[in-house]
A and B are shown apart, each in its own frame.
Chain A
Amino acid sequence: MTALPPFQTVLDEHSAAVMAILRGAVGRDGADDCFQETFLAALRAYPKLEDAGNLRGWLLTIAHRKAIDHHRARGRAPVPVAEVREVATEDGIPEHDPGLWAAVGALPPKQRAAVALRYGSDLPHAEIAAALGCSPAAARRSLHEGLKRLRKELA
């Protein structure tokens, strides 16, 4: 068992990844709330966490659940976007393509999370699997199914 580092370290090291996946999963507007809910839930549970070996996966699992809660609360409505700007993004992720992210938002939860983690957070399959609590093969399958459906919807 690894000793738990100060929670501040967890926040410093993983807040960017959590924010990225939440932006992908619920859009800019909902991401701040989900971010707070994610870290509050993590902070509450932290002292009882038994294994500090995969903190990132643990956090992303919580973030994933908070994103699902968010979509449920909103009746899975597509993310409203007030103004669509044609702007290039630093990291090449098309954050301002509302059609694409709305389609991602409408995917079944596992597929949505897999797509967001892969393309929003740039995680490898093993980490996506850890975040979703499934095997790498299952993560790969969810990602594949999600992409297939997106291609069909956006074609």
Chain B
Amino acid sequence: MTTATKRPTELTAIDDFRMRAATEGLLDVAYTTADSPFGPLLLARTERGLVRVGLPNQDADELLADLAERVSPRVLEAPAELDEVRREFDLYFAGNLDHFDLPLDWRLSSGFRQRVLRAINRIPYGQTRSYTEMARKAGNERAVRAAGTACGSNPIPLVVPCHRVLRTGGALGGYGGGLPMKEALLELEGVLDAKGSA
């Protein structure tokens, strides 16, 4: 991710290579970074859809190494492949998008965790649910702790809105991007007022 130091001719050759790789279907994982009010996000997609969103407090290099291992080592920076994703994120953070309309690639989660995440994916904008409710929707009401773990391991945060899952009684619970970010997202969606109460 250090292309800034390259000489112009080499950059052109790299751009051409990237384009040909895309045309030939060799971009198994395309990624880019996007600005957000919380810091840079890492966005990664496969031919199926968005597969990973890295939050600002997560190490991008580690996430990319993980994608190389679990999806395919053909991981390349290709901003143009994520134009639509970035556009929807910009709208969302500006408060002008209440539903991400993006194909998702669920392969980084499985079993109970994936069922929890799919249930979370149906929580509408500006609403919240409890971990218990998510556990029940995923088929095991008593697995509340496991439902919390599933939220914590969410590979596609923001789009799969795990920030809308709270403790029974309304306490915030946890968030992979840090609690201030969870709070700010709930404020953005009008769930919390600026004092942080629901």
Contacts and interface: CB of A to CB of B under 8 A. Distances in A.
Interface string A12-23: 100110010000
A11 B31 CA distance: 14
B68 A4 contact: yes
B195 interface: no
Given A32-B9, A43-B26, A8 B17 contact: no
Given A36-B20, A40-B17, A40-B20, A16 B73 contact: no
A75 interface: no
A3 B69 contact: yes
A9 B20 CA distance: 18
Q: Number of contact residues on A: which range applies?
A: 20 to 34
Interface in B20-41: 20-21, 24, 26, 29, 31
B65 interface: yes
Q: Is the interface of A mostly helix, strand, loop or mixed?
A: helix
A43 B21 contact: yes
A3 B72 CA distance: 11
A47 B21 contact: no
A40 B64 CA distance: 20
Interface in B71-99: 72-77
Contacts of B12: 32
Interface of A: 3-9, 11-12, 15-16, 19, 31-32, 35-36, 39-40, 43-44, 46-47
